[in-house]
Chain A
Amino acid sequence: ELKVEQNPLFLSMQEGKNYTIYCNYSTTSDRLYWYRQDPGKSLESLFVLLSNGAVKQEGRLMASLDTKARLSTLHITAAVHDLSATYFCAVFTNSGYALNFGKGTSLLVTP
């Protein structure tokens, strides 16, 4: 059974600080997705990482993928309040049809 584990599950950080969210998964996959979800809202696609060593950056967020270690990271640089949300990583099951999500990391950025 494919397992996707994120840590930490909760993160409170001050504005201006840096931090990294980790996503481990238990089966071989060459694709990993990061989503953002605001309270009561749907999932917004942040990054699609398609190969080993892939690195993508958008604003203060940078995501990377190490398929050999089955690990992805989402790095936050100089956090601002607008980044407060829940972040999910997800990989496809072996069939390639169903996304399997982690439990999410709830991020709160405080002044």
Chain B
Amino acid sequence: DAGVTQSPTHLIKTRGQQVTLRCSPKSGHDTVSWYQQALGQGPQFIFQYYEEEERQRGNFPDRFSGHQFPNYSSELNVNALLLGDSALYLCASSYSGAKYNEQFFGPGTRLTVL
């Protein structure tokens, strides 16, 4: 049973560019959350997608957008990249019908903005 997968593993971009990160949830999961983890910090919630809609958003600017597909996979898009966007981006999946809503994390995408 495959867990949460993310691609790419690493990415290097320059300021002003746009980036798309991808996530496939764990089998049986229908909800995807995205987190940003800056170096030396705890993960920060970006947003959550359920039924192809953004269900909740954290304190991130509109440059961060996302999408969820009918197969529950998800993309995170970041426009007009800033140096401060350099971080590990983590995708977490969960099942909406689970009693305790545990989130399972993928391996992450390391984004470096130069």
Contact = CB atoms under 8 A, between A and B. Distances in A.
Given A42-B106, A98-B56, A101-B42, A92 B101 contact: yes
B74 interface: no
Nearest to A104: B42
A48 B33 contact: no
Interface string B75-96: 0000000000000001010000
Interface size class of B (residues with CB under 8 A): 20 to 34
Given A95-B56, A97-B33, A97-B56, A48 B42 contact: no
Interface in B53-107: 55-56, 58, 90, 92, 100-107
B104 A98 contact: no
A78 interface: no
Interface in A81-111: 88, 90, 92-93, 95-104
Given A42-B90, A97-B48, A102 B104 contact: no
Given A99-B43, A101-B43, A48 B108 contact: no
A106 B43 CA distance: 14
A40 B48 CA distance: 23
Contacts of A43: 43, 90, 105
